[in-house]
Amino acid sequence: MSSAANTIIELAAQAGVSLEMRGNVALIQLCRPQKRNALSDSLIEALRNVFQNLPAETKAAVVHGQGDHFCAGLDLSELKERDAAEGVFHSRSWHVALDAVEAGPVPVIAALHGAVVGGGLELASACHIRVADASTFYALPEGTRGIFVGGGGAVRVPKLVGAARMTDMMLTGRVYNAVDGERVGFAQYLVEEGQALNKALELAERIATNARMTNFALTHVLPRIAEQPADHGLMTEALMASIAQSAPEAKARVRAFLEGKAAKVQKAD
Task: Tell me which residues touch ligand 1HE (CB under 6 A).
Answer: 35-36, 38, 68-69, 72-77, 94, 115, 117-119, 141-142, 145, 149-151
Cβ partners under 8 Å of residue 123, min gap 6: 39, 47, 63, 71, 98, 101, 110, 151
CA separation for the pair 34, 203 (Å, rounded): 29
The answer to whether 141 and 91 are in contact (CB under 8 A) is no
Q: By C-beta, is 25 or 43 nearer to ligand 1HE?
A: 43
Q: By C-beta, is 196 or 208 nearer to ligand 1HE?
A: 196
Please state the closest distance from residue 68 (CB atom) to ligand 1HE, in A. 6
Residues annotated catalytic, as ranges: 122, 142
Please state the closest distance from residue 180 (CB atom) to ligand 1HE, in A. 17
The answer to whether 97 and 68 are in contact (CB under 8 A) is no
The answer to whether 135 and 107 are in contact (CB under 8 A) is no
Q: By C-beta, is 135 or 215 nearer to ligand 1HE?
A: 135
Q: By C-beta, is 186 or 216 nearer to ligand 1HE?
A: 186
Please state the closest distance from residue 99 (CB atom) to ligand 1HE, in A. 13
CA separation for the pair 72, 117 (Å, rounded): 5
CA separation for the pair 76, 5 (Å, rounded): 30
Please state the closest distance from residue 35 (CB atom) to ligand 1HE, in A. 4
The answer to whether 170 and 180 are in contact (CB under 8 A) is no
Q: By C-beta, is 12 or 117 nearer to ligand 1HE?
A: 117
CA separation for the pair 112, 133 (Å, rounded): 6
Please state the closest distance from residue 243 (CB atom) to ligand 1HE, in A. 36
CA separation for the pair 157, 163 (Å, rounded): 8
